[in-house]
Amino acid sequence: MSRVSGRSALAALAAVLLAAPAAAQIRAPQAPSSRLPAAQTAVAPGPPQARAPGDTSRGRLLAPEMAGRSQAPVGSRVNDSLVKMIEGKIRCTCGCNLDVFTCRTTDFTCTTSPAMHRVVLARLDSGMTAPQVLAAFEKQYGEVVLMAPPRRGFNLAAYFMPFVGLLAGFVIVGLVIRGWFRVRPKAPLEGAAKAEPEAPAASDDDLKRLQQELEKFEA
Amino acid sequence: MTDLGNIALWIALLIGVYGSVVGFLAGRSGRAELALSAERSVYVVWGLLAIASAALMRALLAHDFTIEYVAAYTSRNLPVFYTWSAFYAGQKGSLLFWAIVLASFSAIAMLVNRGKNRELMPYVAVVLLVTITFFIAVMVFASNPFERLGFTPPDGRGLNPQLQNPGMVIHPPMLYLGYISIAVPFAFAIAALASGKLDTAWLAAIRRWTIMSWLFLSVGIVLGMWWAYVELGWGGYWAWDPVENASLMPWLAMTAFLHSVMIQEKRGMLKKWNIGLIIGAFLLSIFGTFLTRSGVISSVHSFAQSNVGWFFLIFLVLAGLSAFTLLSYRWPQLAAESTLESMVSREAAFLFNNLIFVVITFSVFWGTVFPVLSEWVRGTKVTVGPPFFNLVNIPLGLLLLLLTGIGPLVAWRKASTANLRRQFIWPVAGMVLTGAALALLRMSDAWAIVAYALAVFVTVTVAQEFVRGTAARHRQYHEAWPLAVVRLVGRNRRRYGGYVVHLGMVMLFVGFAGLAFKKEMEVTLKPGQTAEIRSPYGHVYRVTHQGVSQYEQLNRFVTAASLDVYRDGKYVGVMKSEKRQHMDSMGQPTFEPSTVVAIRSDVREDLYVVFAGSVQGTEEAVYRLTINPLVWWVWYGGLVLAIGGLISMWPTGRGPKIVARRRALEAGYVARVGA
């Protein structure tokens, strides 16, 4: 706080001037902090005062250095879906593990992702298509810059292995089941013999009835 | 007190080693006094770890900055509420947290089984003590939470602001409880293998533990998603980060086990598979710990890089080798008691359900370790992020959702055509109608259409089960409908709790599919200026920037930007997003400013507002506005999931079904159908 306290008188004056036009509509402020200069606590917590319609005047923050990185106004192409799509496929090189779009729009503190965003725009402006932009990033930084491994060479293993696993699983389950059907024991297994006594003889009618009862029970 | 904590750790290490050796000897020799000594060692280790934990907690609360851990994770102005989080916020504290929780679970397991499972318990004590001792050894030799600094700093560094969130007070302990409690079923499985007592006793002993582990993991994962959504400010809740994946993998393995164990209980099949799943779940929980602590894979969630990763890798390899060696040794004794009678049966459906669970687990594992593999094989680093995981796991997840519906509809043993027709007609009709309706309404995302159609399919299956069961009670016992529902669930908690879990999963899938329709935009607004964003439902949100205010609050300096929000022209309220600059007790800024998002949520969609910052120190603000459809369904789906889990594990007051089945078998009145 000591950084701003030297300017407190000037800041207090500015705050009063800013707050005066709508002072009557200010919501109840929090109890002033003992550590903050008067100028800062003059700005009320919570939503600021309502403004007159059409009033778009912008006041200066009292402690801008406390408000995170200063932002530039949003450019016209920031919301372009093509730009977002490309940025969603490129990893920010700041070490955050996020894609460029997510990184630059999350805490808005990264300086790398906005720079990469500008490169994307510049490359699109130079006439590159989306695949060409991605290829240019890959050439510049290597495969690691892409959010998913490019589908070629060894990387194909990444994509195919889960489905190979699924296929292998189906084959294994199929073989196991076939084995069960083939090796169905005529006599109960040794271990099962103790636990599960021989079933009482049942006629076809009994079994049919039992099947029906079981189905009813299951339902 | 600090020295006492340190001494307690050393003594616990020695007692842990003693108990492990004695427990092993008790298991081999069958001597009751040795078994008793091993069990008592568990209680003593628990007591010693409780002393160590109390010592660390006291140091945290007393701001004893001579201790490196306390200075690194707390400060004088850290709210007491978050001092608790500091206990497990760092590597060293979390190791002690893990050890004390595991010791507590172990002591409970010993207490609950003190008159039971005598052949198993010595080995159970060995496995649990070895695991606890391992964690103590890591602390004592590599990462001691009581390590002192050579000086006393005037204040600590403080807790990372992103951890100063109520979600972080609950989410990590829940995940830890989930991870750690898997050790108990693992210990019983290993004890069954080691002792050769492979009947159903060990399954009965672990039933509640497995559901509890699964429940803690589920709640921990959903709370983690909620924390990421409300705190990190990127507008999503799951990023397929390696650490997120690390929590998902044991959950998938446990979920597979909870299904396949039913086949073992009812039919005496899949014994090897079930033991394999329990071993796999435990190893995956250790693997997750290795991932977060080794730094081998970069993650936003991981602890600082340190050498403890090697400890975990060695433990992982040794535990895996020992467990699978034991399993292979007992392989011939784990033969199935009966066989599959038809491919159209619940057993077969559960087999395929298990297959999909395991394949998803594998795909998550594969994607997580592929960067390391690529570097080893080709020397080239690659990134495996959300585009990969979504591509691979969405179809597998939908296949699983389909099986979630099919499983309960098919009869055990063998389903007849009449049974299938009766069971499937309404769910399939609901699914087809939903799919057709969404396609006619030109829903743009094919996967979402499939997801919603399957969601209806599963919902109808669950509703059908409840309606038929309730109607049967109503007819048979003339119970009023509400009473019939309560008794239906109360008399068969596991089955109907499971159905409630299925409903929770449906809700989660509905929420996940909603992300396909996410919309977002960035705007710069001067005070009084307005922006509009249209939601996928066609609602128009109009936001008017009110201005930016700054004030001090607790241990932070807040810059808050406010918006008046209107939906379809109707005023709905003010939304306030903040930048928080945390301060130390001397008023100096600590850490980077963090973002607090503003969220307006309803059952259809969330308006998610992030204040990016001010333009050149003025009240002109940059915002990111996001419409996230159906996120509400994720949080409430998680709640329903947890309720279902609780219903399933709630004591019935009767002996377990396994006992009933064994008695029935002994009495000789169980007939083999079709044998």
On average, the pLDDT of chain B sits at 90
**Residues B340 and A181 sit within 8 Å (Cβ to Cβ):** yes
Q: Residue B435: pLDDT above 70?
A: yes
Gap between the Cα atoms of B558 and A30, Å rounded: 12
On average, the pLDDT of chain A sits at 71
Q: Residue A57: pLDDT above 70?
A: no
Closest CA to A187 of B38, B672, B215: B672
Phi, psi torsion values for B570, nearest 5 degrees: -100, 130
Closest CA to A87 of A147, A3, A34: A147
Chain-centroid distance, C-alpha A134: 21
For B508-553, the pLDDT digits (tens) are 999 999 999 999 999 999 999 999 999 988 899 999 999 999 998 8
Q: pLDDT band for position A43 (50/70/90)?
A: very low
Residue B152's Cβ-side half-sphere holds a number of Cα atoms within 13 Å equal to: 5
pLDDT value of position A51: 58
Question: Contact A202/B529, CB-based, under 8 Å?
Answer: no
Those residues whose C-beta lies under 8 Å from the C-beta of residue A91, and which sit 6 or more positions away, are: A97, A98, A99, A100, A144, A145, A146, A147, B383, B385
Helix (H, G, I), strand (E, B) or coil at A92: coil
Least confident segment among A56-70, B112-126, B608-622: A56-70
* ipTM of predicted assembly, 2 dp: 0.81
Rounded to a whole number, what is the distance in Å from the CA of A213 to chain B's nearest CA? 12
User: Which of A69, A162, A188 lies nearest to residue B363, judging by beta carbons?
Assistant: A162
Question: Which residues of chain A make contact with B234, given a CB cutoff of 8 A?
Answer: 98, 102, 105-106
Question: Contact A66/B343, CB-based, under 8 Å?
Answer: no
Residue at token pair 């690529």: B374
Q: Could you write out the three-class secondary structure of B383-429?
A: CCCHHHHHHHHHHHHHHHHHHHHHHHHCCCCCCCHHHHHHHHHHHHH
Q: pLDDT band for position B215 (50/70/90)?
A: very high
| Mean pLDDT computed over B42-54 | 97
Q: Residue A27: pLDDT above 70?
A: no
pLDDT value of position B395: 94
pLDDT value of position A199: 55
pLDDT value of position A2: 36
All structural domains of chain B, each given as residue ranges with its CATH number in brackets, are 1-159 (no CATH), 517-632 (2.60.98)
Residue B189's Cβ-side half-sphere holds a number of Cα atoms within 13 Å equal to: 29
Those residues whose C-beta lies under 8 Å from the C-beta of residue A21, and which sit 6 or more positions away, are: none
Calculate the alpha carbon distances from B7 to A34, B55, B127, B133, B275 in Å: 43, 11, 24, 15, 38
Q: Could you write out the three-class secondary structure of B535-554?
A: CCCCCEEEEEEEEEEEEEEC
* Interface test with chain B among A26, A78, A106, by most B beta carbons within 10 Å: A106
For B529-541, the pLDDT digits (tens) are 999 999 988 899 9
Calculate the alpha carbon distances from B653 to A101, B206, B491 in Å: 55, 17, 10
| Whether B574 contacts chain A with CB within 8 A | yes
User: Which of B339, B617, B662 lies nearest to residue A61, judging by beta carbons?
Assistant: B617
- Distance, first Cα to last Cα, chain B: 68
pLDDT value of position A12: 42
pLDDT value of position A127: 93
pLDDT value of position B593: 84
pLDDT value of position B661: 52
Question: Which residues of chain A make contact with B355, given a CB cutoff of 8 A?
Answer: 166, 169-170, 173
Gap between the Cα atoms of A1 and B557, Å rounded: 10
| Mean pLDDT computed over B351-363 | 94
Calculate the alpha carbon distances from A92 to A77, A109, A131, B202 in Å: 19, 13, 18, 49
Rounded to a whole number, what is the distance in Å from the CA of A127 to chain B's nearest CA? 24
| Mean pLDDT computed over B117-128 | 94
Q: Which residues pair with B73 in a beta bridge?
A: none
**Residues B42 and B19 sit within 8 Å (Cβ to Cβ):** yes
Question: Which residues of chain A make contact with B674, given a CB cutoff of 8 A?
Answer: 207
| Whether B627 contacts chain A with CB within 8 A | no
User: If phi over 0 gives left and psi between -120 and 50 gives alpha, with beta otherwise, what is residue B587?
Assistant: left
Question: Which residues of chain A make contact with B572, given a CB cutoff of 8 A?
Answer: none
CA closest to B586 among chain A residues: A1
Question: Which residues of chain B make contact with A48, given a CB cutoff of 8 A?
Answer: 527, 546-549, 562, 619
Residue at token pair 């930048």: B579
Calculate the alpha carbon distances from B599 to B62, B568, B604, B624 in Å: 36, 18, 13, 12
Residue B193's Cβ-side half-sphere holds a number of Cα atoms within 13 Å equal to: 24
Q: Residue A188: pLDDT above 80?
A: no
Question: Contact B615/A35, CB-based, under 8 Å?
Answer: no
Rounded to a whole number, what is the distance in Å from the CA of B545 to chain A's nearest CA? 9
Question: Which residues of chain A make contact with B335, given a CB cutoff of 8 A?
Answer: 189, 191
CA B85, B91, B97, B101 torsion-angle sign = positive
Gap between the Cα atoms of B245 and B364, Å rounded: 6
Instruction: Please give the structure tokens belonging to residue B296.
Output: 């081998």
Q: pLDDT band for position B348 (50/70/90)?
A: confident
Q: pLDDT band for position B269 (50/70/90)?
A: confident
Question: Contact B613/A99, CB-based, under 8 Å?
Answer: no
User: Which of A66, A145, A165 lies nearest to residue B559, judging by beta carbons?
Assistant: A66
CA closest to A38 among chain B residues: B551
pLDDT value of position B217: 94
Gap between the Cα atoms of B104 and B128, Å rounded: 11
Q: Which residues pair with B523 in a beta bridge?
A: B623
| Whether B425 contacts chain A with CB within 8 A | no
Phi, psi torsion values for B625, nearest 5 degrees: -110, 130
Least confident segment among A108-112, B194-198, B349-353, B359-363: A108-112
pLDDT value of position B304: 57
Question: Which residues of chain B make contact with A200, given a CB cutoff of 8 A?
Answer: 668-669, 671
Residue type present at position B238: W
pLDDT value of position A16: 38
pLDDT value of position B624: 92
| Whether B143 contacts chain A with CB within 8 A | no
Question: Contact A159/B392, CB-based, under 8 Å?
Answer: yes
Helix (H, G, I), strand (E, B) or coil at B373: helix
Q: pLDDT band for position B650 (50/70/90)?
A: confident
For chains A and B, count residue pairs whose Cβ atoms are closer than 8 Å. 322
User: Apex CA A29: angle with CA A24 and CA A34, to 5°?
Assistant: 135
Rounded to a whole number, what is the distance in Å from the CA of A133 to chain B's nearest CA? 17
Q: What percent of chain A has pLDDT over 70?
A: 60
Question: Which residues of chain A make contact with B411, given a CB cutoff of 8 A?
Answer: 214-215, 218
Q: pLDDT band for position A192 (50/70/90)?
A: very low
pLDDT value of position B512: 95
Phi, psi torsion values for B612, nearest 5 degrees: -75, -35
Rounded to a whole number, what is the distance in Å from the CA of B568 to chain A's nearest CA? 19
For B482-502, the pLDDT digits (tens) are 999 999 998 889 899 999 999
Rounded to a whole number, what is the distance in Å from the CA of A126 to chain B's nearest CA? 24
More reliable by pLDDT, A23 or A148: A148
Question: Which residues of chain B make contact with A170, given a CB cutoff of 8 A?
Answer: 355
Gap between the Cα atoms of B434 and B459, Å rounded: 12
Question: Contact A48/B557, CB-based, under 8 Å?
Answer: no
Q: pLDDT band for position B192 (50/70/90)?
A: very high
Closest CA to B191 of B384, B24, B417, B356: B24
| Mean pLDDT computed over B64-81 | 90
Helix (H, G, I), strand (E, B) or coil at A186: coil
| Mean pLDDT computed over B177-205 | 93
Question: Which residues of chain B make contact with A1, given a CB cutoff of 8 A?
Answer: 587
Q: What angle separates helix B121-141 from helix B2-29, to the nearest 10 degrees? A: 150
**Residues B236 and B520 sit within 8 Å (Cβ to Cβ):** no
| Mean pLDDT computed over B40-47 | 97
pLDDT value of position B324: 96
- The DSSP annotation for A63-88 comes to -GGGS-S-BPPPPTTTT-HHHHHHHT
Closest CA to A185 of B661, B556, B633, B340: B340
Gap between the Cα atoms of B155 and B64, Å rounded: 9
CA B141, B146, B148, B153 torsion-angle sign = positive
